[in-house]
Structure 1
Amino acid sequence: MSMDSRPVDHIRSFSLLSMRNELNKLVEQVKDPEAKKYFKNEMDGFYALFTRYLSEKAKGTRLNWREVKTPGNDKIIPYKELKPASHEASKTALSKLAVLKLNGGLGTTMGCVGPKSAIEVRDGMTFLDLTVRQIEYLNRDNNVSVPLILMNSFNTDDETKRIIQKYTGQQLKIMTFNQSRVPRIEKESLLPLPKDPVGKISEWYPPGHGDLFESLANSGTLDKLLAEGKEYLFISNVDNLGATVDQTILNHLVESGAEFLMEVTDKTKADIKGGTLVEYEGSIRLLEIAQVPSEHVEDFKSVKKFKIFNTNNLWVSIRAIKRVIEHQELSMEIIVNNKTAETGEKVIQLETAVGAAIKHFKGAHGINVPRQRFLPVKSTSDLFLITSDLYKLNHGELVLNPKRLFGTVPIVKLGDHFKKVQHFLSRFQSPPHILELDHLTVTGDVTFGTDVVLSGTVIIVANHGSRIDIPSGAILHDKVVSGNLRILDH
């Protein structure tokens, strides 16, 4: 050992020992034996993550950009090359499938309280309502029993459990479990922020959806699924309305024997920050923008070099999950999230992404799927598209309106006046007709009447302190409306 590395190793050992002691103190304060066992598992998982973080930090582990390669043709298969399954094979595969939705997020960015999955997105139905309707129809149509599993966080668990009571008696089994609840770390001392196992909510965080595998096992849900004869898990974000059960992809998972499939889709300029699949040091990896050295970020964003991005729709073998957990093989890339606590203190959160687990599974590869399998609702601009006549609803599934002459979706940018769902809804008397729309930008105090038609490129800008009212029945084609205007009915 060189003289230079000794102080670093000493500091790391001291930090690890201090963290272990603090976590043990938290565990010892839990009196109920069952709760204590569960909490200890969470803290052990967190300690392993912290250990890896310090180790990587000490090594100065940095991505070798020269080793980042575009995956070969055998690693990303076009959806159109997949073979559809026979009805019998489909039914057999569906009988072994479970659907898992990542349901840990709150609707705060869209101005809502409670779980994001409870936001109404179409015809009075929430994300959760649409998901339930889809799987119910799947079960009824194929005479199978595909369960819906919700991975909640401590932020969404209570409210979600209350909400799902309304589905009792429907042809669908719903299971829930919680992703881990781990302590934020003080940036200076590298010690856990909370001093007791309950603590304030703001002192804890869910460590990203990469925690799914350990939490699935810790909660007993993994063993329950295996006991029920389930072999395949379809994982997706609850706010991706395009993430429906696709029997062709399921059949490919079964036939290929792959343990992990990631749905990717062609990148547009709107997706340049999305994670992508690469080959790195001989294996397939998910590369996130946070891992890219700063001097190569523009290269990473290139639509020419990295043509696809991760939709976070994943198909995984449940037996393989059991194996990697039991053998403790998971070591997903750590994402360091810098935050400021309520007290103003600088803290860090260590997180992982579920797609990063791809490197631990045999035969893993990507499927390049059509864009309609990626319909996330992250903002009211997305909500604008989902509520419009661009889509039709079919058994809870959004289908692009056949009257739309081209398969692309318009680019929509709504300003701050539309940011919160409540404000957004108050500005439209009814959703505009946008079947021929290419691009829409709206900023400032703008309202829309009923049956407004928008086509081509439409830009509406209300100056500060002024207002623009688009009257009912107005037709705007390739129009720029700006200034201090009130468009009145004639």
Structure 2
Amino acid sequence: MADEKLAKLREAVAGLSQISDNEKSGFISLVARYLSGEEEHVEWAKIHTPTDEVVVPYDTLAAPPEDLEETKKLLNKLAVLKLNGGLGTTMGCTGPKSVIEVRNGFTFLDLIVIQIESLNKKYGSNVPLLLMNSFNTHEDTLKIVEKYTNSNIEVHTFNQSQYPRVVADEFLPWPSKGKTCKDGWYPPGHGDIFPSLMNSGKLDLLLSQGKEYVFIANSDNLGAIVDMKILNHLIHKQNEYCMEVTPKTLADVKGGTLISYEDKVQLLEIAQVPDAHVNEFKSIEKFKIFNTNNLWVNLKAIKRLVEADALKMEIIPNPKEVDGVKVLQLETAAGAAIRFFDHAIGINVPRSRFLPVKATSDLQLVQSDLYTLVDGFVTRNPARTNPSNPSIELGPEFKKVGCFLGRFKSIPSIVELDTLKVSGDVWFGSSITLKGKVTITAQPGVKLEIPDGAVIENKDINGPEDL
């Protein structure tokens, strides 16, 4: 039955003119693995907590060389790659998420470029920036990067694969059934980075320039900056792959974690966990770290493994309903590739290296006085004594970036804030200070305006009379 399905699918895919032969064969290979049911189940009893040799504590790394020339040599072995395939749809934006303004009028992409520019300027190095786009973000990104043509940094863009969504009940590619617009296709997750880097010719280009490592990170993670201690460690120890992990808090219980499994370091995702052990997986006592998706990978090793077709990461089936049709997307994650590389390690990094902006509540944190901006680097305000950030929950009125920005005359001071919950039609004046635990609730049909200069500490506000 599976063979029959695959044969029909293969025939239909062969007729799709919109994608390359590499994309066709990559897609068929993914589907074939999925249909064969080769999913490896994790045996819970074989899971061990990794030792400090496998997940190295950041503070045990040797200091990088102080000599400018030595630092330049290290940096010239590095390329930075940002995953730029995501649209800002969850935050109400239509283009690439990386062009949302983060601070002082700068977008994620501006900050990334400024950071690498300042490195190249300081050390005389040539660290290039690569952006892996999806077909959703490619055209917009090409226009956006034009403004960096005069900078001292090479910016390369390439596309990750474009695969057809599969109509679930017939198991045929949707585009061959007539859905040829963008909705008929999907980008197959960031695990696709390795073949796409190779197929685009960018991998060979980097190797020809003497690059040895690529630092991969999500474009919306403001903490993912080049770290000389990590780069120095990997080059000296010849680790082919490094995943940055950081201590788990209760907000991160669903994040993937590193385990030792059959003498290999491996990523364990919640989807792989047997139901009986899900609560154990979510515990921050047993599984203390999670994957930040900041990855450092050796370029020659990528080439070796892609050429050998050896990167068989766990398949993540993602069923969706689009325009009333049930479709299936098969995806893979870049972090799951860790077990295929030699001398792969994790490094347990400070939380400051994980500062993603997934929602407007995250945007409020990074736009506030909790952070300052220097040379494109977002740095935490030392006046905040609590090591963790405030917990912020904003109601649906704040979900879209435009609405969020419109409701604040200026972003409140939150250096001494613990938690903030806002619901209903709430509007903030300028120069407001929030401290401790604050809840602001506008009653249905009531517009609640917080006046300029208000200082609110440990208060529940349900109407103007509480101010």
Query: What is the TM-score normalised by the length of structure 1?
Result: 0.93
Structure 2 Cα separation of the partners of residues 341 and 460 of structure 1: 37
CA distances 1:436-477 after superposition (whole Å, capped 9, x unpaired): 111111111111111111111111111222232111111111
Q: Secondary structure at the match of 1:239?
A: coil
Kindly report which structure 2 residues correspond to 1:360-375, keeping only aligned pairs within 5 A, or say none. 360-375=340-355
Q: Which moved more, 1:430-439 or 1:369-378?
A: 430-439
**Is residue 203–residue 341 contact of structure 1 (8 Å, CA) maintained in 2?**
no
* Cα gap change, 1:281 to 1:62, in 2 (>3 Å): same
1:7 match: none
User: In 1, Cα distance between the equivalents of 2:238 and 2:23?
Assistant: 32
Query: Distance in 2 between the 1:65 and 1:165 partners?
Result: 50
Amino acid aligned to 1:194: P
Say yes or no: does 1:64 pair with 2:48.
Answer: no
Following TM superposition, by how much is the alpha carbon of 1:405 offset from its aligned partner in structure 2, in angstroms? Answer: 2.0
Which sits farther off after the overlay, 292-301 or 388-397?
A: 292-301
CA–CA separation in structure 2 for the residues paired with 1:292 and 1:22: 35
| Corresponding residue for residue 148 of structure 2 | 167
Is 1:250 aligned to 2:231, yes or no? yes
Residue 300 of structure 1 and its aligned partner are, at CA, apart by 1.1
- Per-residue deviation, residues 109-152 of structure 1 (Å, max 9, x unmatched): 00011000011011111000000000000100111010000000
The equivalent residue for 1:3 is none
Alignment equivalent of 1:358, drawn from 316, 329, 338: 338
Unaligned runs of 5+ in 2: none
- Asked if the contact 1:213–1:321 (Cα under 8 Å) also holds between the matched residues in 2, the reply is yes
Secondary structure class of the residue paired with 2:81 = strand
431-440 or 129-138: which moved more? 431-440
Residues 467 and 485, structure 1, Cα contact 8 Å, conserved in 2: no
From 374, 378, 381, give the equivalent of 2:361.
Answer: 381
**Unpaired runs of at least 5, structure 1:** 1-10, 31-37
Q: Tell me the distance in 2 between the aligned counterparts of 1:98 and 1:198.
A: 38
Match of 1:280 among 258, 261, 271: 261
Aligned to 1:485: 464
SS at match of 2:176: coil
Question: What count of residue pairs does the alignment treat as equivalent?
Answer: 465
SS in 1 for 2:368: coil
Aligned residue in 1 for 2:252:
271
1:213: how far off? 0.2
Give the alignment's Cα RMSD to 1 decimal: 1.5
**Counterparts of 2:443 and 2:336, CA distance in 1:** 45
Out of 91, 107, 126, which is 1:126 matched to?
A: 107
Query: What is aligned with 2:12?
Result: 22
Q: Deviations over 1:252-305 (max 9, x none)?
A: 111111000000000000000111111223211111112222222111111111
Mapping of residues 130-209 of structure 1, within 5 Å = 130-195=111-176, 199-209=180-190
Residue of structure 1 aligned with 2:453, choices 463, 466, 473: 473
CA shift for structure 1 position 73: 2.1
Match of 1:107 in 2: 88
What secondary structure does 1:169 align onto? coil
The 1-side partners of 2:101 and 2:465 are apart by 31
Distance in 2 (alpha carbons) for counterparts of 1:397 and 1:19: 48
Mapped to 1, the partners of 2:144 and 2:466 lie a distance apart of 43
What's the counterpart of residue 49 of structure 1? 30
Greater displacement, 153-162 / 82-91: 82-91
- Find the aligned partners of 1:162 and 1:60 in 2 and give their Cα distance: 41
Given that 1:107 and 1:114 are in contact with CA atoms closer than 8 Å, whether structure 2 keeps it comes out as yes
Partner residue of 2:417 out of 426, 432, 437:
437
State the secondary structure of the residue aligned to 1:195: helix
Q: Give the counterpart of 1:214 among 185, 188, 195.
A: 195
Deviation at 1:486, TM superposition (A): 6.2
CA deviation string 1:287-345 (max 9, x = no partner)? 11122222221111111111000000001100110110111110000001010122x12
- SS of residue paired to 2:109: helix
Contact 1:466/1:485, CA 8 A, preserved across alignment = no
Q: Secondary structure of 1:285's match?
A: strand
Describe how 1:312-351 pairs up with structure 2 within 5 A.
312-342=293-323, 344-351=324-331
Q: Contact (CA 8 Å) 1:89, 1:251: kept in 2 or not?
A: no
AA in 1 matched with 2:340: H
Q: Tell whether the 8 Å contact from 2:257 to 2:268 is kept in structure 1 after alignment.
A: yes
Distance 1:291 1:139 in 2: 42
Post-superposition offset of 1:403? 1.6
Farther off after superposition, 251-260 or 81-90: 81-90
Residue 62 of structure 1, CA deviation: 3.0
- How high is the sequence identity, in percent, across the aligned residues? 54
| Alpha-carbon distance in 2 for matches of 1:65, 1:95 | 43
Deviations 1:338-389 (A, max 9, x none): 10122x1211100000011000111101100000100000000000000000
Aligned pair partner of 1:452 in 432, 435, 441: 432
